Chain A
Amino acid sequence: MKHLKQLFMLFILCCSLVIPSTALAATNASSSSSSSSAVSSSSSNQAATDDSLQKIKQKGTLVVGMSADYPPYEFTTKKNGKTEYVGFEVDLAKQFAKDLGVKLVIKNMDFDSLLVALETGKIDTIISGMNVTNERKKSVDFSNTYYSGNSYFLINKADHDRFKKATDFKGKTVGAQNGTLQSTMIDKSMPGVKNKGLAKLSNLVIGLQSHKVDAVLMDEATAKAYAANNSNLVTFNSKLPSTAGDIAMAFPKGDKSLEAAANKTIKQVNDEDLINKQWIPQASKYMKSYKKQNTVLSYWRYFAKGVEYTLIITIVSVICGFILGTLFALMRLSKNKLLHSLAVCYIEFLRGTPMIVQIMFVYFGIGAVIQSMPALVAGIIAVSLNSGAYVAEIIRSGIQSIPVGQTEAARSLGMSKQTTFQEVIMPQALKNIWPALGNELITLLKDSSLVSVIGVSELMYQTQLVQSATYKGVLPLFITMLIYFVLTFTLSRILLHFERKMKHAH
């Protein structure tokens, strides 16, 4: 008991060491920049003393984070069956990368994950319709503004007569994407209105169409795009105070030289008015041309890719989880107090925390230490660790269900501990726990959908892409549900087959 307590304290200590060290890295960066901040606004390259620009040029890629379900800012379409990011901010990002002379890499993630990703070095900059706010300025640096838009309400056409101005929404529910300026605006400037926040704008629009919310507050360009693409929706200016949102690129604190380079690109883009004159019209064209052939089924490749990744995550995690589970089961059964307590801590901690938190912790927390870790790897690690804890308990119960006489008989024949375990105990234990392991496998396949939060293109994530690309909410979900069911049903049949086979071999 005492050991357990000590170990637990140790664990807490370790965790608290990891977290501040990343925070520390951030403050270091900001303190080093303070000397250069005075001159950074002059948009002169020489004035910047940090090496952020040089670093980008050295690695040859610019990693831009965006939340690509935001037409006409950024969204996905299909070109010759391939997913492509389009929208005026994608054009801006392309221009920026071109001016830097490096390759552009786009990372698509939830809007409210963008800031964390920037702070932990997963991305170099955010170009994602991000409004400049004082609060955000505390954690990131902003470039000069490249676009300003008002906030618009998107409503159902049928409600056109009921809702004409912001005050008409008293006592109603208005939705906004989590972490956006509009979400704050509802709270601050629309008293008596219930704020419904979701991570995906597309889900909010589905909610609007099924009357879960009465309106969705979003920026002008996006609202107009939705209205243009759906004849059942209309939009109007909210005219709320502080409604003009200045949109700018976000950089990690202190990346002044990179920011200066961005300002140069932005100045040129603004001078030529490229956004309004070329890029937004082009983006609208994409939206229209895809509206025609935009059936959900034409996105089957999205689903196929999703299934592929879901299976990869499931299979790799099952194998790793099984190895981990066996290891921790043995540790938990070990007479060595230290190993035993370690295993207990691991198992209890992982079973006692939500998997979605674990996934984000691995990606953002451990990912801050190992910068180059891809989301897929982070997802697999998190799912494996989680599954390992559950499998450990299953295996432990399996081992404990074998009578000690089996071990004694094997040992008295001269078999070593290891041989006894491998040849005598484990085969019998496996047979006993096969159904439980099968359940765990099916749970894991379903739970792998949680990995979509960190942007791994598994089935659930792909579904969200299809939703935002087709402006349809329910059908893609229904198809995904069917796919999951077919997968789990097939799997459980296969497992049952082996279970029967093992029984027959008896």
Chain B
Amino acid sequence: MPTKMIEVKNLQKKFKNNVVLKEITEHVDQGQVICVIGPSGAGKSTFLRCLNALEQPSSGQVLFEGQNLVGLDDKQLDQIRQKMGMVFQGFNLFPSMTVLKNIMIAPIKVKKTSAEDAKQTAMKLLAKVGLANKANQYPDQLSGGQKQRVAIARALAMDPAVMLFDEPTSALDPEMVEEVLKVMRDLADSGMTMVVVTHEMGFAKEVADQIWFMADGYIQETGQPDDFFDHPTSPRAQEFLKKILK
């Protein structure tokens, strides 16, 4: 039996009176790649942010490697977040630091890695995302696709057990989408556990082990990509796919 990396039990999240996540119970196994899809405003980002406690759930549980994140203090959360990399739609690179420093800062400041080791790791990761020659540039000298690849390298530098992606390609010009997806595909092939919120249906179909379809604050349907895209069972999913495949 595969070990459960993340478990979500009866998760609910509201902002004031707006119930965004109504009742979610799901789990992610080690090594699994999950693609979360669904219409805008469904609560996908909110769900993803609950997984690493950037948002505090209103009720229910989120377990990471068996430990409940709800109710932990800041210090304990800092510990757990080290093992959960996150990549944002807007990159959120640190503009005052070089590419290299962006990647090195967290290992040095959080894990107390030596500057030398951190640099070595950073250079290795930059090579992996194809940007070794950009090490000493600043973020605003990079294209969107390059920025997002640096952001992925930055998250990987902490050697996380799971990577969370929130629409990593949505802010990119079309011609740059592929270079980022390639990096993510490689990462999936290397066995990384991944939860990816995306509108890239091709990528989801090809890379995901499971599709989670979200709408109206629920996960309406889960399934193998082939099953889901060919025979969606819930009316909301059928409607959604009809719209985007048109």
Contacts and interface: CB of A to CB of B under 8 A. Distances in A.
Contact of B75 (A403, A408, A411, A416): A416
Interface stretch (A187-195, A293-301, A324-332, A423-431): A423-431
A412 B78 contact: no
Contact of A411 (B54, B90, B95, B151): B54
B10 interface: no
A506 interface: yes
B105 interface: yes
Contacts of A505: 96
B105 A423 contact: yes
A405 interface: yes
A115 B81 CA distance: 64
A409 B92 contact: yes
A502 to B, nearest CB: 9
Q: Which 5 A/B pairs are nearest by Cβ-Cβ distance? A: A414-B82, A409-B92, A413-B106, A412-B86, A405-B92
B81 A424 contact: no
B193 interface: no
B197 to A, nearest CB: 14
Contact of A412 (B52, B74, B79, B96): B52
Given A405-B90, A408-B88, A428 B95 contact: yes
A415 B54 contact: no
B154 interface: yes
A405 B171 CA distance: 14
15 contacts: A406-B92, A409-B92, A409-B151, A411-B54, A411-B81, A413-B106, A414-B106, A414-B158, A415-B109, A416-B75, A419-B110, A424-B94, A427-B96, A506-B95, A506-B138
Contacts of A428: 94-96
A416 B82 contact: no
Interface string A396-412: 00000001011011111
Nearest to A424: B94
A417 interface: yes
B112 to A, nearest CB: 11
A408 B54 contact: yes
Interface in B148-203: 151, 154-155, 158
Given A415-B109, A416-B74, A417-B74, A409 B94 contact: yes
B78 A414 contact: yes
A405 B45 CA distance: 13
B11 interface: no
Interface centre among A409, A412, A416, A428 (most CB of B within 10 A): A412
Given A405-B88, A419-B110, A506-B140, A413 B96 contact: no
A415 B154 CA distance: 13
Given A408-B54, A506-B138, A413 B74 contact: no
Interface of A: 403, 405-406, 408-417, 419, 423-424, 427-428, 431, 505-506
A258 to B, nearest CB: 61
A423 B109 contact: yes
A505 B139 CA distance: 12
B140 A412 contact: no
A187 B156 CA distance: 83
Interface centre among A406, A417, A423 (most CB of B within 10 A): A423
Contacts of B85: 412-413
Nearest to A404: B92
A506 B101 CA distance: 13
Given A423-B109, A428-B96, A506-B138, A413 B154 contact: yes
Interface string B64-98: 00000000001100110110111010101111100
Contacts of B82: 413-414
Given A415-B106, A423-B109, 14 more contacts: A403-B92, A409-B94, A409-B151, A411-B54, A411-B81, A412-B54, A412-B81, A412-B84, A412-B155, A413-B85, A416-B78, A424-B105, A428-B94, A428-B96
A301 B166 CA distance: 68
A77 B141 CA distance: 65
B51 to A, nearest CB: 10
A293 B88 CA distance: 76
A234 B154 CA distance: 83
A378 B211 CA distance: 69
Contacts of B110: 413-416, 419
